[in-house]
Structure 1
């Protein structure tokens, strides 16, 4: 009888031991499950965050570049300010938005009207407004054509209305889009047939310089902004 009782006790103890091990294993799995779910959740959040960042990537890159090139932090790579007094009015698109701090460093009194996404016709409208107000400079810098083609006669008409005493500086474009060659051809034709117009060839100057551009191949990196500004400043300085 005692032997039978002993065997029962041993069996109960063994059962409890197995039960405890099994229960501990289940509890461990329950603890591990939330951890796995948490990891998956974090991965999903990361993917969503990355997607959100990409939607405005180019705008953010432009803003970051502008923050890096505040007037008091611009390096000496940019051409020094001109000695001769030149009143400059600049009209442009997002490229000019980016280089604004650089241009102001070289030309402290420059007036810049630049808007992201601007077409040539819109820019000429702003130029007409300056003219009407009597606030145009004796040098007009036009950096447009990034966002599409334009009517050549519109630009020619505007230049003629400014008068021969006004120096007009056109900057051609580097944009991997179908209208690039057409825009640049028109700008070149206008410059070669108008004695008071100078063409600054950004297209050629930026060829084979991927480091001048951010990921879209259009907007400028810090290095590109410095190169663009130096080209423009030297071009204006060279006008007699």
Structure 2
């Protein structure tokens, strides 16, 4: 068999390099498109749920168009449901994106969630809700995604609610470089206050990438269901 000459070898190597480069470019292009598509879907979802909350229509509907509570809520005892009659959720875009499912899971809840919300916004929001008579006896906090915060600031948030309320704080999940710091502050607040309990969403969700959009923070519909049901189990 005739050996290939140097020019043939060079051409073969060049061809292989071009194929590898083209495959790489295609992979990057596909990943970029997927990321952009996910971001657009997420943004649309957040906008829709924000409007729904404003209109007090953040509910899940059956196929015949009737609003219903989740099966998990319906399966609770009468006492269990009674314990959830006075409950308020306050959170950032993670909670906002799951608000319809949360409202279905907790039909009597007041949900106040917004994009880019910071922990230092919490006290003024609590005051506004209390003035309207919509601050429940149980408060679930979902803040810490957008920046780290100190124990002192977390304690001020808890103190603003008083000691006569049950408080639950959902910890943070996502690839942010402050995730561990936010979660450490949340845990420190929980350890310091007997009336504050942790909802360890981070540990529950960390092995389920399929629940999240490409950003690894915000939840797809299946993830929102898992989020709401996990909160329900943590409270009940």
> What TM-score, normalized by structure 2, do the two folds share?
0.69
Deviation for aligned residue 1:192? 1.5
Corresponding residue to 2:60 among 60, 71, 78: 71
Deviation for aligned residue 1:76? 9.4
Q: Deviations over 1:156-192 (max 9, x none)?
A: 1231232222000100011201110000000011111
Deviation for aligned residue 1:80? 2.0
**Segments of 4+ moved more than 6 angstroms:** 64-67, 74-78
Alignment CA distance shift 1:161-1:234 (3 Å) = same
Corresponding residue to 1:59 among 36, 43, 64: 43
> What TM-score, normalized by structure 1, do the two folds share?
0.68
Deviation for aligned residue 1:199? 0.4
Matches within 5 A, 1:139-178: 139-178=138-177
Deviation for aligned residue 1:120? 0.9
**Structure with greater helix share of residues:** 1
Secondary structure at 2:89 match in 1: strand
Bigger-Rg structure (1/2): 1
Q: Work out whether residues 78 and 227 of structure 1, in 8 Å CA contact, stay in contact via their aligned partners in 2.
A: no
Deviation for aligned residue 1:70? 4.9
- Does residue 83 of structure 1 match 2:81? yes
Aligned residues: CA RMSD: 2.9
Q: Deviations over 1:16-47 (max 9, x none)?
A: xxxxxxxxxxxxxxxxxxxxxxxxxxxxxxxx
Secondary structure at 1:71 match in 2: coil
More displaced stretch, 126-135 vs 107-116: 126-135
- Aligned equivalents of 1:178, 1:214: Cα separation in 2: 18
Matches within 5 A, 1:1-240: 56=40, 58-60=42-44, 62=46, 70-73=59-62, 79-81=72-74, 82-86=80-84, 87-237=86-236
- Aligned equivalents of 1:215, 1:65: Cα separation in 2: 19
Alignment CA distance shift 1:96-1:60 (3 Å) = same
- Aligned equivalents of 2:101, 2:205: Cα separation in 1: 17
